[in-house]
């Protein structure tokens, strides 16, 4: 029986899956990076594709925005036999050294959200990326000569944060950036004994005089580069 939201059958997805939030990005990845890509699910517009990259099977599945949506997709992909989950997305950079277009390999994700707290029933928990994915991503980025930062991020429920200066608070704690899904993905993966990681491209810098947004053409180039690195990261696990 197919899962409720990711309408697919065991075998439709490869063991390694990229997780972008945006269905258009999932489609773009499949069409531009996969060989022999095929659509395996489109339930609720949450597009998923399977193909190959450098001869190895790989899939991409939309998570939607925020931890509640990402947690549903993560649970159901694991039900379908997925073993390696790699979030690929954009983020707001908090750290003063970050520049637009920089790559972040997340080592952990502070859960500033309600989903992880609900899963753990309020017990304090520190969601972390699996070392194998962090290690493989670091070496892929190093080999490509990509400007890369490694460290913790924060996953927030809010895109429009009412906090007056969140960047100051989080950067003082060594947190590099903010996004909205990784903490839930890390938590659920750990609960089921599968591997999860997260690569992010800095699309905004936050906490300087004003929020600065990357230009669309520069974002496309940076994200394309991140996708190739993400796929090389997953292939390194085979």
Annotated catalytic residues are: 204
- Nearest partner of 200 among 108, 134, 120, 102, judged by Cα: 102
Q: What's the per-residue H, E or C state across the chain?
A: CCCCCCCCCCCCCCCEEEECCCHHHHHHHHHHHCEEEEEEECHHHCCEEEEEECCEEEEEECCCCCHHHHHHHHHHHHHCCCCEEEEEEEEEECCCCCCCCCEEEEEEEEEECHHHHHHCCCCCCCCECCHHHHHHHHHHHHHHCCCEEEEEEEEECCCCCCCCCHHHHHHHCCCCEEECCHHHHHHHHHHHCCEEEEEEEEEEECCCCCCEECCHHHHHHHHHHHHHHHHHHHHCCC
* 39, β-bridge pairs: 49
Give CA separation, 235 vs 99, 148, 191, 224, in Å. 28, 20, 23, 17
């Amino acid at each position: 029986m197919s899962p409720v939201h990711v309408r697919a059958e065991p075998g439709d997805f490869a063991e390694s899956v990229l997780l972008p939030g945006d269905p258009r990005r999932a489609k773009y990845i499949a069409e531009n990076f996969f060989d022999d890509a095929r659509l395996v699910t489109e339930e609720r517009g949450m597009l998923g594709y399977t193909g190959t990259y450098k001869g190895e099977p790989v899939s991409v599945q939309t998570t939607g925005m925020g931890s509640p949506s990402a947690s549903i997709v993560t649970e159901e992909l694991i039900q379908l036999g997925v073993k390696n989950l790699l979030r690929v997305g954009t983020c707001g950079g908090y750290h003063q050294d970050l520049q637009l277009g920089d790559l972040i390999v997340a080592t952990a994700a502070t859960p500033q959200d309600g989903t992880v707290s609900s899963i753990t029933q309020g017990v304090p928990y520190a969601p972390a990326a699996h070392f194998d994915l962090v290690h493989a991503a670091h070496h892929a980025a190093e080999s490509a000569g990509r400007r890369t930062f490694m460290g913790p991020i924060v996953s927030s429920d809010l895109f429009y944060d009412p906090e007056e200066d969140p960047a100051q608070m989080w950067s003082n704690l060594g947190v590099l950036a903010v996004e909205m899904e990784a903490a839930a993905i890390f938590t659920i993966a750990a609960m089921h004994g599968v591997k999860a990681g997260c690569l992010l491209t800095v699309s905004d810098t936050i906490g300087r005089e004003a929020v600065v947004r990357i230009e669309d053409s520069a974002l496309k180039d940076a994200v394309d580069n991140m996708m190739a690195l993400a796929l090389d990261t997953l292939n390194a696990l085979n």
